[in-house]
Amino acid sequence: MATPQPSRTQQKQLEPWRNAGEKPYVRVEKVTKRFGDFTAVDDVSLSIYRGEFFSLLGGSGSGKTTLLRMLAGFEQPTEGKIFIDGVDMSDVPPYERPVNMMFQSYALFPHMSVESNIAFGLQQDRVPKAEIRDRVAEMLELVQLSPFAKRRPHQLSGGQRQRVALARALVKKPKLLLLDEPLGALDKKLREKTQFELVNIQEKVGITFVIVTHDQEEAMTMSSRIAVMNKGYIAQVGTPTEIYEYPNTRMVAEFIGSVNIFEGRVVESEPDHSLIRSDEAACDLYVSHPAHIGVGTACWVAVRPEKIAISKEPPLGGEPGRNQTAGVVKEIAYLGDVSIYDVDLDTGKRVRVTAPNLTRRTEMPITWEDRVYLSWRPFAGSVLTE
Ligand code: ATP
């Protein structure tokens, strides 16, 4: 049975940023943060909508944490303004913001039990005892830690400690939860499992999450949208698919996953396609979208490794010399489900290809030093101008 597709209205609710009438829950307006003469956050503007799982993704020192700390109120913008739920936060101290922050270190109290750690903030706020009990029990249930309520943090695994920190941040019912590298302390397997848990919990509680991460896979798995940060500015904002399939610069293309970038020059620039001549690729690159730049302009074409087909025979169909090139296999990495091939073209350009391992028995496997043909479809490439 076919899965029912969301209606247009539902889609708009799921993707509020596409709805011009929707008011952002968080609005960052031309925010700059300088420490002395160093600019950590550079003229950033962003809109984040209610219920989003929004990631700030970037390399070390790109300004992600500084931006998060300004949302929390731990730092003040040097220039610009932050609005939360329509209210200017300039004079609102951290404890009066509808915001809670979960730190990478979790900052749990080692001498307190799990339930006391979760209850702590509510006790500080003088919430009645019976209500504290109920809310803590509800949180323990949510993060599946009820059987561990009496344990101390050192008697828990890393993943369980992470869930205590999450419960402690959520119990105060913030409207906005800020998470700084929330899975940073977990090993790879546990990280992957916890990513799904975190998304499920976020959907259950319906709170807007803004997370900081340097891990692109993590951002791709969890986020409604991602802002890619570089040197304090925002390079691109989009859904994981938009960022991956339509990166706007070489920097974003290279940061998100692996990519082949071919340098070339536009020879046809039409509304429905562009043709780029590339000496490096030793073929013409036909792209089924407009480049919006004139004939003769220098540009780059990005092609993801999984979009390139590799074969020992020349490809059937297509047009020779267009999205078809050839080279010699120099490296192979077998990863089980896929294999990675690094192929040197005759021009010296190294091209990466990933191919699923569905080898047909009749086909000879590709091995080192084999001469191979590479080909890809017109929709596989993106034209980039910077
Ligand atoms: P990471 O992933 O390494 O934590 P980040 O993207 O979160 O990186 P930030 O912590 O926001 O980066 O820091 C951005 C830049 O601002 C860095 O170069 C950092 O050294 C600088 N910076 C941050 N806080 C201060 C401070 N209080 N004083 C001076 N410089 C600072």
Please tell me the distance between residue 246's alpha carbon and the centre of ligand 1 in angstroms: 28
Question: Which ligand 1 atom lies nearest to the CA of residue 62?
Answer: 6
Does residue 229 fall inside a structural domain? yes
Count the neighbouring beta carbons within 10 Å of the beta carbon of residue 215: 17
Q: Coil, strand or helix: which one is 255?
A: helix
Question: Which ligand 1 atom lies nearest to the CA of residue 229?
Answer: 6
pLDDT at 201: 86
pLDDT at 362: 46
Range of the domain at 308: 258-384
Which among 44, 51, 50 has a CA at the least distance from the CA of 79? 44
The amino acid present at 79, given as its one-letter code, is E
Residues 215 and 281 in one domain: no
- 10 Å CB burial of residue 67 (0-12, 13-18, 19+) is buried
Residues 209 and 347 in one domain: no
**Residue 371 pLDDT level (bands cut at 50, 70, 90):** very high
pLDDT at 259: 94
pLDDT at 191: 82
DSSP string across 319-348: -TTBSEEEEEEEEEEE-SSEEEEEEEETTS
Question: Which ligand 1 atom lies nearest to the CA of residue 69?
Answer: 11
Does residue 7 fall inside a structural domain? no
Residues 299 and 262 in one domain: yes
Does residue 166 fall inside a structural domain? yes
Residues 111 and 51 in one domain: yes
Residues 208 and 336 in one domain: no
Question: Which ligand 1 atom lies nearest to the CA of residue 60?
Answer: 3
Does residue 45 have a pLDDT over 50? Answer: yes
Question: Which ligand 1 atom lies nearest to the CA of residue 56?
Answer: 6
Out of 234, 250, 266, a domain closes at: 250
Which among 246, 244, 226 has a CA at the least distance from the CA of 234? 226
pLDDT at 3: 44
Q: What angle do CA 321, 273, 306 make, to 5 degrees?
A: 60
Count of domains forming the chain? 2
Residues 52 and 91 in one domain: yes
| CB 76 near ligand 1, within 6 Å | no
Please tell me the distance between residue 40's alpha carbon and the centre of ligand 1 in angstroms: 6
Please tell me the distance between residue 88's alpha carbon and the centre of ligand 1 in angstroms: 24
Mutation choice for ligand 1 from 60, 65, 214, CB with most ligand atoms inside 8 A = 65
Residues 215 and 293 in one domain: no
pLDDT at 250: 92
Residues 193 and 334 in one domain: no
Reading the block at residue 81, the tokens are 């303004």
Does residue 3 fall inside a structural domain? no
Does residue 231 fall inside a structural domain? yes
| CB 213 near ligand 1, within 6 Å | no
What CATH number corresponds to the domain at position 281? 2.40.50.140
Residues 113 and 246 in one domain: yes
Over residues 286-299, the pLDDT tens digits come to 999 888 888 999 99
Residues 263 and 245 in one domain: no
pLDDT at 153: 92
| CB 77 near ligand 1, within 6 Å | no
Please tell me the distance between residue 242's alpha carbon and the centre of ligand 1 in angstroms: 27
pLDDT at 380: 93
Share of residues in the chain with pLDDT > 90 (%): 66
What CATH number corresponds to the domain at position 48? 3.40.50.300
Look at the alpha carbons of 243, 244, 249, 251 in this order and tell me if their dihedral is positive or negative: positive
Query: Which helix or strand (DSSP H or E) is residue 153 part of?
Result: none
pLDDT at 13: 56
Reading the block at residue 193, the tokens are 């499992």
Closest residue by Cα to atom 29, ligand 1, is: 35
When pLDDT is averaged across residues 116-122 and rounded to a whole number, the result is 94
Comparison of pLDDT for 52 and 184, the residue scoring more: 52
Mutation choice for ligand 1 from 38, 67, 210, CB with most ligand atoms inside 8 A = 38
Q: 């990675």: which residue's tokens?
A: 340
Burial per residue of 8-40, b for 16 or more beta-carbon CB atoms within 10 angstroms, e otherwise:
eeeebeebbbeeeeeebbbbbbebbbeeeeebb
Q: How far is CA 104 from CA 144, 165, 183, 186, in A?
A: 20, 9, 8, 10
pLDDT mean across residues, the chain: 90
- HSE-up (13 A, CA, CB side) for residue 271: 0
Out of 250, 272, 297, a domain closes at: 250
User: Cα separation of 137 and 153, whole Å?
Assistant: 17
**Residue 118 pLDDT level (bands cut at 50, 70, 90):** very high
When pLDDT is averaged across residues 354-374 and rounded to a whole number, the result is 80
User: Cα separation of 128 and 122, whole Å?
Assistant: 9
Does residue 12 fall inside a structural domain? no
Out of 250, 273, 294, a domain closes at: 250
pLDDT at 20: 81
| CB 65 near ligand 1, within 6 Å | yes
Please tell me the distance between residue 230's alpha carbon and the centre of ligand 1 in angstroms: 12
Average the pLDDT over each of 127-136, 165-174, 303-312, 356-365 and give the range with the smallest value. 356-365
Over residues 154-165, the pLDDT tens digits come to 999 888 898 899
Does residue 197 fall inside a structural domain? yes
Residues contacting residue 310 through CB under 8 Å, at least 6 positions apart: 341, 343, 353, 355, 366, 372, 373, 374
**Residue 206 pLDDT level (bands cut at 50, 70, 90):** confident
Residues 56 and 177 in one domain: yes
Does residue 16 fall inside a structural domain? no
Does residue 308 have a pLDDT over 90? Answer: yes
Q: How far is CA 191 from CA 52, 198, 200, in A?
A: 20, 10, 14
Does residue 368 have a pLDDT over 90? Answer: yes
Ranked by mean pLDDT, which of 20-24, 74-78, 103-107, 337-341 comes out on top? Answer: 74-78
Count the neighbouring beta carbons within 10 Å of the beta carbon of residue 269: 19
Q: Coil, strand or helix: which one is 104?
A: coil
Please tell me the distance between residue 232's alpha carbon and the centre of ligand 1 in angstroms: 9
Comparison of pLDDT for 189 and 358, the residue scoring more: 189
pLDDT at 1: 39
Residues 243 and 262 in one domain: no
pLDDT at 357: 81
Closest residue by Cα to atom 19, ligand 1, is: 61
Closest residue by Cα to atom 21, ligand 1, is: 40
